[in-house]
Amino acid sequence: MKKRNELEKIMFHPTGTDLKPYEWMISATPQQEWIDKKGIFLLLAFFFTEIGAGLYFISLFYQYRTGLILGWLISLILGGGVHVLYLGNPFRAWRMLMKPQTSELSRGMWIIGIFAVAGFVQIVTSNFGPVFNVIMGILSLLIISHGFMTMNVIRALAAWSSTMVIPLSIISGVWIGCQMFQFMLAVSGNQMAQSFEIWSQILLIVYFVCVLLYIWGTYHASETAEKSISLMLKGDLAKYFYGGVVLIGFMLPLLITLKMWDGDINAGLIFLRLALIFAGDIAMRYIIMKSAMYQPLI
Amino acid sequence: MARWGMVIDVKRCIACWSCTISCKEEHFLPPNVFWNRVLIGEAGKFPTSRKLIYPVLCNHCADAACVDACPTGATYKREDGIVAVDYDKCVGCRACLISCPYQQRTYYDEEKKNAEYFPGQGKTEYEKIGEKLYPFTCGTVMKCNFCTERIEEGLEKGLTPGTDDEASPACVIACPVGARIFGDLDDSESEISRLIMEKNGKQLHPEFGTEPAVYYID
């Protein structure tokens, strides 16, 4: 047995997966490229572009220039930068503009490019005309959903093809953008932070309902999707789901929201809630990306 | 123009891995990189359980998910139906790898480049020659190319892929039981077209709508 193990170590290089070549895809196989090792950059890239665009989107309604600038920077510098770090050949990144007719990634690059230019123009000129605002609003929503949209078009991974993936990403982007916006208002002593709390209360509930609908919808989508959800709720990812998404991403923010229910808000609690929501959203994204599985080949 | 495809007779396959090894030899694939695999699984429950042996490779789909997903055009469909990768255009985003329902693509990185067949003992002469003859680009995605080089060279010599060994993929000529048949799917007179029709050739996961060019018969 010992000799056999040694032989296997030589035949199947230890730096590779534990799977033997003949075991590949004979049972539901988790995707790894977009989450393990360097794949974690993609998770962060999607997260940063989402929260930056979310902040930009909310700031647009109030013509809040600081929020616009910060949202623009987070989306492009952090989101775009980390995205490029993930690539195998970052210097060829411009080539990703070449196929918007079929590739969701390519379409996303175009949208980010247009957002970068148009956002810069809006910030510099302070042009908040209704047409420009609508265009920027649509671009922000597209960027918020870009990550999950890229995942959603992959038919091979049932957990990502779920109908609720896009609504969940939009709600989570707007929800985090809203929290960042409220925090900025509260820190600057703006009275609007208090009246804005109602949006926080609504979006917290809507966000969690979206998570539940995603789980329910995906569980009933297919056998492989059911396995993904089981992995999330009962398998290796359960600790991230209950600890990260449920406790940190929902229960604790809910407690803070209830504490401020009577309108007695303060920047410290809003910051704490924001930090918890950040962690909860990253956990939610990690779980969705990690739990996706391919249907067995035979 | 021909549309190249393959028929694999799973009843004939004896899981000897000749296809896997010959593919590795042909393309000098590094450790843990397989363009050809033989999957062994089980179906059913005792006493009606049976062993499944499925050789798998890139399906060179007519409506390939990887071609659509590639944002740079590095993965493209040739006129002869072969799905090819232009390593000079590949940006290494791995969208093709993720979108392939058959998981037949491999990301070639530094780790794979530096991997040795005999870990800790340096690269063999064979591996060194392979790097020169068949260089891969780090940070790109690789996969089976139906031995394009052999097909093209063979056609230039006036040979027929699938019929003449010199013009056929390495896995096809290495198979000792003749379980792999290569040929033109668009030619209704070709052997593979006849086998697909007569033996009701099946594709893997047709529900994905990718129209694979690799068929299985039993």
In terms of residues, how long is chain A?
298
- Whole-prediction pTM value? 0.91
Residue with the larger pLDDT of the pair A15 and A221: A221
Residue with the larger pLDDT of the pair B32 and B9: B9
Residue-wise pLDDT tens digits, B48-67: 888 889 999 999 999 999 99
Nearest chain B Cα distance for residue A137, angstroms:
25
Please tell me if residue A101 touches chain B, with a CB cutoff of 8 Å: no
| Domain enclosing residue B141, as ranges | 4-217
Mean pLDDT over residues B186-209, rounded? 95
Rounded CA separation A49/A53 (Å): 6
Please tell me if residue A277 touches chain B, with a CB cutoff of 8 Å: no
Give residue A25's pLDDT band: very low, low, confident or very high (50, 70, 90): confident
Q: What is the pLDDT of residue A15?
A: 46
Rounded CA separation A162/A165 (Å): 6
Nearest chain B Cα distance for residue A291, angstroms:
13
Mean pLDDT over residues B31-58, rounded? 90
**Which of A42, A155, A224, A290 to probe by mutation at the B interface, max B CB count within 10 Å?**
A155
Indicate if the pLDDT at residue A3 is higher than 70: no
Mean pLDDT over residues A243-271, rounded? 92
Taking contacts as CB-CB distances below 8 angstroms, the residues of chain B near A16 are 31-32, 115
| Cα dist from B134 to A39, B129, B149, whole Å | 27, 8, 11
Residue with the larger pLDDT of the pair A297 and A52: A52
Residue-range domains of chain A with CATH: 28-294 (1.20.1630.10)
Choose the closest CB to A105 out of B74, B89, B95.
B95
Indicate if the pLDDT at residue B139 is higher than 80: yes
Q: What is the pLDDT of residue A5?
A: 65
Please tell me if residue A104 touches chain B, with a CB cutoff of 8 Å: yes
Indicate if the pLDDT at residue B16 is higher than 50: yes
CATH number at residue B205: 3.30.70.20
Please tell me if residue A130 touches chain B, with a CB cutoff of 8 Å: no
Q: What percent of chain A has pLDDT over 90?
A: 84
Three-class secondary structure of residue A225 per DSSP: helix
Give residue B188's pLDDT band: very low, low, confident or very high (50, 70, 90): very high
Please tell me if residue A124 touches chain B, with a CB cutoff of 8 Å: no
The number of C-beta contacts closer than 8 angstroms across A and B is: 146
Q: What is the pLDDT of residue A298?
A: 82
CA B85 to chain centre: 13
Taking contacts as CB-CB distances below 8 angstroms, the residues of chain B near A297 are 39, 54, 56, 102-103, 204-205
The domain total for chain B is 1
User: Which residues of B, range 24-43, sit inside 8 Å of A by Cβ?
Assistant: 31-32, 34, 37-41, 43
Q: What is the mean pLDDT of chain A?
A: 91
Mean pLDDT over residues A119-135, rounded? 95
Q: What is the pLDDT of residue A19?
A: 62
Is the confidence metric ipTM above 0.85 for this complex? yes
Rounded CA separation B68/B189 (Å): 31
Looking only at the bridges linking them, the beta strands covering B75-77 and B50-57 are: unpaired
Give residue A17's pLDDT band: very low, low, confident or very high (50, 70, 90): low
Helix runs in A153-266, H state only: 165-187, 192-195, 197-219, 223-233, 238-239, 252-259
Please enumerate in sequence order all residues whose Cβ is within 8 A of that of A131, keeping only pairs 6 or more positions apart, or say none: none
- The answer to whether the CB of A91 falls within 8 A of the CB of B56 is no
B91 vs A296: CB contact, 8 Å cut-off? no
Q: What is the pLDDT of residue A264?
A: 81
- The answer to whether the CB of A215 falls within 8 A of the CB of A233 is yes
Mean pLDDT over residues A78-99, rounded? 94
Rounded CA separation B195/B201 (Å): 7
Q: What is the pLDDT of residue A14?
A: 47
CA dihedral A229, A30, B91, A101 (to 10 degrees): -50
B98 vs A157: CB contact, 8 Å cut-off? yes
